[in-house]
Structure 1
Amino acid sequence: MLENPLEVDPTVDAIFKVCSGIFWSVTYLLILRRGIVDKSYGMPVVALCANLSWEFIFSFIHPHSTPQLYIDYAWLALDVGILVQYLKYGRKDFPEHLPVTLFYPTFLLTLLLSFLFILLLSREFNDLNGVYAAFSQNLLMSILFIQLLLKRNSPRGQSLYIALCKMIGTVFPSVLLYLYFPDSYFLVLLYVGIFIFDMTYLLLLYFKIKAAGLSPWARV
């Protein structure tokens, strides 16, 4: 449970939240663009379901204060676009040993479980700002991006700019939350873990794009 936060200048708080909002929004926009170009989806489905759930919960059920609330709205709208791409292109990555008729039920079950997990976790630990859920699912997302890259064995749906913007967009709230809760060692573990996996993903993606005979920095 996060209690007794230290004081942080409101201007610093707003700047860090807006910067995070910008970089994560750019991440989503780049995923959408890459999805259009590659005719694919760029976010692992479990991460997508977790994002949609978190953004809905903290937009409408336990709404954040501004400016984070408006950022949540923007993220939710962009993730709905990524959802459309997943529903359109996701069948090609669905396990071959399962009937394709399970594609939609599997997605709906994943979305429901993600929603309940984030909602109940936040209430159980009285974390109605969704901090634990946000960084936990961010770490999960970092790992899942690596898994998606290795599974596809290609940079389809991905670019270095997506990886960089995700990493930078996470650094801002990591620093901000550290200013508020410097003694939360669990959160520090999450910050460090996310950064390590994001750097690993960035390097793996760079070499995978190079191996495909493409220019990593020319692929937007």
Structure 2
Amino acid sequence: MAQTSLISAILEHQDALASVAEFLRILAGICWTLNYFSMLWTTRKDKIPSTGIFPLCNDIAWEFIYAFVYPTASAHWQGGVRVWFMVHCIVIVTIIKYAHNEWDYFPLIQRNLYLVYGLVTVGFAFGQYSFACEVGPALGFFYGGVLCQTLASLGPVAQILSRNSTRGASLLTWFLRAVATFGGFIKLTIYYLTGNAAGPWIESPMCRFYIGLTLVLDLVYPICYYIIRRQELADPQAEQRRKAKLGKRA
């Protein structure tokens, strides 16, 4: 009975739900784009990468595959994936410029940053392409995006914890990503309820795991930021020494 009522309500308000989903799609696209510009600004400001190698390189690989190899799979974004790819190209060049500040303990990587980032990006591109060949571009786009989303949420948490510093971290970047993520989840739920799902959603155990993991990681990040920032404010000399050290390297 309850399920019948839900279906009736969805059918009755299908046009309104479609409008909400379209608004959320546009909002997510804008927030993701601003998120990348925020990463760029944070990297330049703090002179240290604002994201890890794997999240960034996987994003670029996914965008390249679905912007140029299988563009029809991302057609509903109306060119947005190509915009993200171009913005990410600027981001990765900027990040490589300052990445040497993070690799003092590993000179081999420090001396070969362009090679490392290039190889990781190519590796992810082959992986994304192979997966698309295996399951088809439509599902490849969906699950490839799941990997991008997961790494985008996991990477910053791992980064801020491993650095034990808020340098290179940004609550603005987190907020934009969180809005895009949460809005995207609502949009996909509307697509699912109205029968327009592009792939599996809440009926899939894997998708439920992905949704839960991503939301937990995005909730944990500002908590980590707050704790570490309090630690820095309690010992300002340590933070000044860290800034001075980075200033000498830049």
TM-score by length of 2: 0.75
Deviations 1:9-30 (A, max 9, x none): 5534422211111111121111
* Stretch moving more, 69-78 or 16-25: 69-78
1:27 aligns to what?
35
Aligned residues: 208
Deviation at 1:134, TM superposition (A): 0.8
Instruction: Provide the C-alpha distance between the structure 2 equivalents of 1:50 and 1:113, rounded to a whole number of angstroms.
Output: 9
Structure 1 position 202 matched with structure 2 position 211: no
* Stretch moving more, 71-80 or 191-200: 71-80
* Stretch moving more, 36-45 or 170-179: 170-179
- Identity of paired residues, percent? 20
Contact 1:135 1:191 in 2 (8 A): no
1:189 aligns to what?
209
Deviation at 1:95, TM superposition (A): 6.2
Q: Which amino acid aligns with 2:90?
A: G
Instruction: Provide the C-alpha distance between the structure 2 equivalents of 1:182 and 1:165, rounded to a whole number of angstroms.
Output: 24
Instruction: Provide the C-alpha distance between the structure 2 equivalents of 1:12 and 1:117, rounded to a whole number of angstroms.
Output: 34
More helix by share: 2
1:163 aligns to what?
174
Q: Which amino acid aligns with 1:171?
A: F
Q: Which amino acid aligns with 1:56?
A: F
1:47 aligns to what?
55
Instruction: Provide the C-alpha distance between the structure 2 equivalents of 1:153 and 1:211, rounded to a whole number of angstroms.
Output: 9
1:96 aligned to 85, 94, 105, which one?
105
Contact 1:136 1:190 in 2 (8 A): no
Deviation at 1:208, TM superposition (A): 1.5
Larger of the two Rg values belongs to structure: 2
2:161 aligned to 147, 150, 156, which one?
150
Deviation at 1:140, TM superposition (A): 2.1
- CA-based RMSD: 2.3
Instruction: Provide the C-alpha distance between the structure 2 equivalents of 1:122 and 1:161, rounded to a whole number of angstroms.
Output: 33
* Stretch moving more, 54-63 or 190-199: 54-63
Contact 1:30 1:162 in 2 (8 A): yes
Structure 1 gap ranges (5+): 1-5, 215-220
Contact 1:94 1:103 in 2 (8 A): no
Deviation at 1:88, TM superposition (A): 0.2
Deviation at 1:96, TM superposition (A): 1.9
Instruction: Provide the C-alpha distance between the structure 2 equivalents of 1:212 and 1:57, rounded to a whole number of angstroms.
Output: 41
Contact 1:160 1:206 in 2 (8 A): no
Structure 2 gap ranges (5+): 1-9, 193-200, 235-250
Deviations 1:168-218 (A, max 9, x none): 11112222223323312211211111010111112101222232229xxxx
Contact 2:70 2:137 in 1 (8 A): no
Q: Which amino acid aligns with 2:179?
A: I
